[in-house]
């Protein structure tokens, strides 16, 4: 599951992203869940008589890559190493409607449910079926959903630690440290508490612990936490 966060934050005018709206809804249909797992706002989608999707809007950034915009909100061209300008394609241009529709049908088959369910239930089904939830990091960090108790066991089970040289041990320990330390307030800074947790639980080297604690630290500005707050 993806832990990209910033692209779902509120915009400069304070208008919240549509994922906030959907995560507050009591129930989703399977169709709504499939679209949301494709990062599509179900409210934006219309289907014309020949079954083509129109007016589709993504929940997060419409681009997979970083794009600068001009004062009018139009994307600026990117300059490559040879000095040539080119336009960055949007997600929709890269994926295509037909591919999105095919993936939407695949997700519905994997979830195989005609009943409306709570968002947390759909997220759990997606996790078990191997469906990516692109906004899960944003949702967890903003307390919009809770990770299941066995999340890290499932995360580890995606790899065979003994036989797979690609097992991301530092990644696993970084996420685990963040999840445990961020649950409760403390008198020391988040980074100090992260380091303490990793020293006691990870078995990593001092250099690795430094790397992990820097990534997991949510208080990049530093400073002592305020009383009663988990800063």
Q: Are residues 100 and 88 in the same domain?
A: yes
Q: Does residue 8 register a pLDDT over 60?
A: no
> Is the pTM higher than 0.85?
no
**How does residue 29 score in pLDDT terms, banded at 50, 70 and 90?**
very high
Distances (CA, A) of 17 to 41, 122, 180: 10, 20, 27
Tokens matching residue 227: 């009383």
Q: Are residues 53 and 109 in the same domain?
A: yes
Q: Are residues 172 and 104 in the same domain?
A: no
**How far is 144 from 138, CA to CA, in rounded Å?**
8
Final residue in a domain of this structure, among 148, 180, 212: 148
Q: Does residue 23 register a pLDDT over 60?
A: yes
Q: Are residues 167 and 108 in the same domain?
A: no
Q: Are residues 143 and 153 in the same domain?
A: no
Check the CA dihedral 2-144-129-162 and report its sign.
Answer: positive
**How far is 125 from 131, CA to CA, in rounded Å?**
8
Q: Which of 4-13, 110-119, 142-151, 175-184 has the lowest mean pLDDT?
A: 4-13
Mean pLDDT of the chain: 78
Final residue in a domain of this structure, among 124, 148, 172: 148
DSSP 8-state symbol, 53:
E
Q: Looking at per-residue confidence, does 227 or 35 come out higher?
A: 35
């Amino acid at each position: 599951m993806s832990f990209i966060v910033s692209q779902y934050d509120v915009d400069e005018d304070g208008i919240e992203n549509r994922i906030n709206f959907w995560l507050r809804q009591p129930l989703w249909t399977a169709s709504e869940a499939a679209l949301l797992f494709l990062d599509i706002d179900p409210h934006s989608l219309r289907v014309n008589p020949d079954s083509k999707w129109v007016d589709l809007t993504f929940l997060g950034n419409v681009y997979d890559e970083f794009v600068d915009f001009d004062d009018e909100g139009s994307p600026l061209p990117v300059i490559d190493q040879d000095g040539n300008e080119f336009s960055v394609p949007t997600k929709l241009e890269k994926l295509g409607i037909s591919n999105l529709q095919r993936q939407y049908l695949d997700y519905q088959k994997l979830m195989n449910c005609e009943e409306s369910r709570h968002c947390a239930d759909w997220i759990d089904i997606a996790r078990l079926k191997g469906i990516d939830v692109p906004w899960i990091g944003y949702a967890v960090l903003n307390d919009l959903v809770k990770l299941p108790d066995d999340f890290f066991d499932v995360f580890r089970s995606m790899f065979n630690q003994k036989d797979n040289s690609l097992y991301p041990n530092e990644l696993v320990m970084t996420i685990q440290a963040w999840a445990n330390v961020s649950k409760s307030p403390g008198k020391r800074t988040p980074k100090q508490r992260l380091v303490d947790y990793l020293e006691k639980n990870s078995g990593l080297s001092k250099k690795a612990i430094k790397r992990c604690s820097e990534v997991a630290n949510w208080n990049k500005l530093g400073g002592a936490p305020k009383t009663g707050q988990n800063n």
